[in-house]
Amino acid sequence: MALYTKAAEILEKVERKEGAVKTLVYESKFQNIKQLYALVCETQKYSSVLQDIIISTKLLKETKLKMNLAKVLLYDFLIGQGLKCGGSWKAVMMKHRSRLQAALARMKVKKKVSRNQDLLPPGIRKASEDQLPRYVRVNTLKTTMEDVIDYFKREGFSYQGQAARLDDLRSLSGKTFLCDQHLPELLVFPPKMDFHAHFLYQAGHIVLQDKASCLPAYLLNPPPGAHVLDACAAPGNKTSQLAAIMGNKGKLVAFDLDAKRLSTMSTLLLRAGVTCQQLANQDFLKVDPESPEYRGVEYILLDPSCSGSGMVCLRDSSPAPPQEEEARLQALAAFQLRCLNHALRFPRLQRLVYSTCSVHKQENEEVVSAGLQQNEGYRLIPVLPSWPERGLEPLTQCLRASTTHTLTHGFFVALLERRPPSSEDAAPMQLSTTASSPEISVSNENWEAGTVSLDQDAAEGNKGKKKKKKRKGNTKSQC
């Protein structure tokens, strides 16, 4: 019974946008993590189907169950491998068995399908077919690429060298793996390969992190000794990657408002061998850029709260009405623009990466465009010319990521750099970089920001609405 109680609790937290599914599952410290994660993901995938059955059979009224608990029980009872509990809950489901099965059968007849998976909404069905590779980032604070590759080879894995194209990642199967074509410290394995119980993961030698999520720190590329801020840091994978790039030398300040998430991040950073960090349980927007503590900041990674629309496991099977969704996106975009404007106020800032795990232009290109219009001392820098998916016009200097074009979660990344103090047509400034500097192509041409309208007053008005409907806003880090 504990399995279903915990699964329902996590689904409720996901609905309140308190975190990603995987993070919440692993924070739960449930005995069988793999079983819990599978149940939560599958229930979430079939959420709209299960909800229709529950409503049509009036199951909540008959059983006094809450919606999310009813969903996890019904998933295993009708679609999964059968209920893994006895007692009163099993008795309740068995009592209504014929009505529940009949409701599922009627739904299939109505939609003219024979398989359960064909009942899924098109977007969810496509997402379930998008099998993303398992990305493994090597933590160079504790080991080397060569040692990790050798370790896996001794375990019977076959190393295929460095990928030359995206199709190389699609063709992975069995115990084969390769080195990513864009990120030099990223290994790629076949989909669903699970390393959570592996020695290298538990010892902090490898980090399980989606490729797109590795881009912000890689492109920011702060050199050893730099003063760096991670403005919305939890759960901490990007923070540990920044520390590895810096070689644990310098000052890395990580902000997060949630004390519990910060505590979890502290454990993660300890396991990763990070020693240059300073954790700050405070609101980044309230930090004084001119204070002695922060006026020397040179690099900022800004990954603010977002809709999470690019995360495969967070895609909503029952989206909000268009008007409500647009209001929510405008409120998020206004918050993100506040964060960007605040970050660009740090007097010695040289480079900033803005990123989201959203696919919406309101949270991505429009925020960056507005930020550049309001901060003329900064410019957009083109990055990774070989990356297959670019930002929407006219911001093609930015990167986008998706399940179809890059075999990753949906993501957006923009690199901003302070303009040289001389004339606008001066050569781009030369920043000190590490030996493994990312591929960055800088144009001397002036860039003109596109027009964007972000109504701050309307966004402020949306904040009042958030109290009535929690799904309209989000002020906690999701990615």
How does pLDDT run across 91-114, given as a tens digit for each residue? 888 889 999 999 999 999 998 988
How open is the CA angle 390-474-256, to the nearest 5 degrees?
90
32 annotated among ligand-binding-site residues: no
Encoded amino acid at 133, one letter: P
Between 477 and 299, the more confident residue is: 299
Q: Does one domain contain both 199 and 232?
A: no
Boundary (domain end) residue, out of 191, 208, 225: 208
Q: Does one domain contain both 417 and 456?
A: yes
Rg, C-alpha atoms of the chain: 23
Give the mean pLDDT of 7-15.
Answer: 87
234 annotated among ligand-binding-site residues: yes
Distance, in Å, from the CA atom of 306 to the CA atom of 215, rounded to the nearest integer, reads 17
Between 61 and 367, the more confident residue is: 367
Residue 479 lies in a domain: no
Residue 478 lies in a domain: no
Boundary (domain end) residue, out of 170, 192, 208: 208
Q: Catalogue the active-site residues.
A: 357
Q: Does one domain contain both 112 and 150?
A: no
Token digits of residue 308? 């999470």
pLDDT value of residue 120: 82
What confidence tier does 441 reach under pLDDT thresholds 50, 70, 90? very low
> Domain with 137 in it: what CATH number?
3.30.70.1170
191 annotated among ligand-binding-site residues: no
Q: Does one domain contain both 15 and 90?
A: yes
Q: Does one domain contain both 186 and 293?
A: no
233 annotated among ligand-binding-site residues: yes
Give the mean pLDDT of 65-77.
Answer: 91
Q: For the ranges 73-82, 156-165, 348-357, 410-419, which has the lowest average pLDDT?
A: 73-82
How many residues appear in the chain?
479
Distance, in Å, from the CA atom of 377 to the CA atom of 373, rounded to the nearest integer, reads 9
What confidence tier does 427 reach under pLDDT thresholds 50, 70, 90? very low
- pLDDT beyond 70 at 8: yes
**% of the chain at pLDDT higher than 70:** 83
Distance, in Å, from the CA atom of 354 to the CA atom of 368, rounded to the nearest integer, reads 8
319 annotated among ligand-binding-site residues: no
Give the mean pLDDT of 57-75.
Answer: 90
What confidence tier does 449 reach under pLDDT thresholds 50, 70, 90? very low
Residue 477 lies in a domain: no
Residue 409 lies in a domain: yes
Distance, in Å, from the CA atom of 477 to the CA atom of 306, rounded to the nearest integer, reads 7
pLDDT value of residue 19: 66
102-152 pLDDT, tens digit per residue, is 999 999 999 898 888 888 876 665 555 557 999 999 999 999 999 999 999
pLDDT value of residue 473: 41
Residue 64 lies in a domain: yes
Q: Does one domain contain both 244 and 339?
A: yes
Q: Report the 10 Å Cβ neighbour count for 284.
A: 21
Token digits of residue 407? 């075999």
Q: Does one domain contain both 16 and 92?
A: yes
pLDDT value of residue 238: 95
pLDDT value of residue 62: 85
pLDDT value of residue 30: 83
Token digits of residue 280? 């700050």
Task: Tell me the β-bridge partners of 438.
Answer: none
242-260 pLDDT, tens digit per residue, is 999 999 999 999 999 888 8
Boundary (domain end) residue, out of 153, 174, 208: 208
382 annotated among ligand-binding-site residues: no
In the sheet with 158-162, reading across from the earlier edge strand, the strands are 158-162, 176-179, 186-189, 134-138, 206-208
What confidence tier does 440 reach under pLDDT thresholds 50, 70, 90? very low
Q: Does one domain contain both 95 and 180?
A: no
What confidence tier does 320 reach under pLDDT thresholds 50, 70, 90? low
Q: Does one domain contain both 398 and 445?
A: yes
Q: Does one domain contain both 417 and 441?
A: yes
Instruction: Give the alpha-carbon dihedral of 274, 277, 279, 283, to 10 degrees.
Output: -130
Token digits of residue 472? 């309209």
Mean predicted lDDT score pLDDT of the chain: 84
**Which range of residues forms the domain containing residue 62?**
2-128
Q: For the ranges 3-17, 54-68, 279-293, 457-471, which has the lowest average pLDDT?
A: 457-471
Distance, in Å, from the CA atom of 306 to the CA atom of 358, rounded to the nearest integer, reads 6
Residue 288 lies in a domain: yes
371-408 pLDDT, tens digit per residue, is 999 999 999 999 999 999 999 999 999 999 999 899 99
What per-residue string of b and e applies to 375-396 under the rule 16 or more CB within 10 Å gives b?
A: beebbbbbbbeebebbbeeebe
Q: Does one domain contain both 152 and 231?
A: no
Residue 457 lies in a domain: yes
> Domain with 449 in it: what CATH number?
3.40.50.150
Q: For the ranges 226-230, 235-239, 283-287, 449-453, which has the lowest average pLDDT?
A: 449-453
Domain count, the chain: 3
194 annotated among ligand-binding-site residues: no
Q: Does one domain contain both 273 and 392?
A: yes
Token digits of residue 15? 């609905």
Specify the residue for token string 């954790």: 279
237 annotated among ligand-binding-site residues: yes
- pLDDT beyond 90 at 45: no
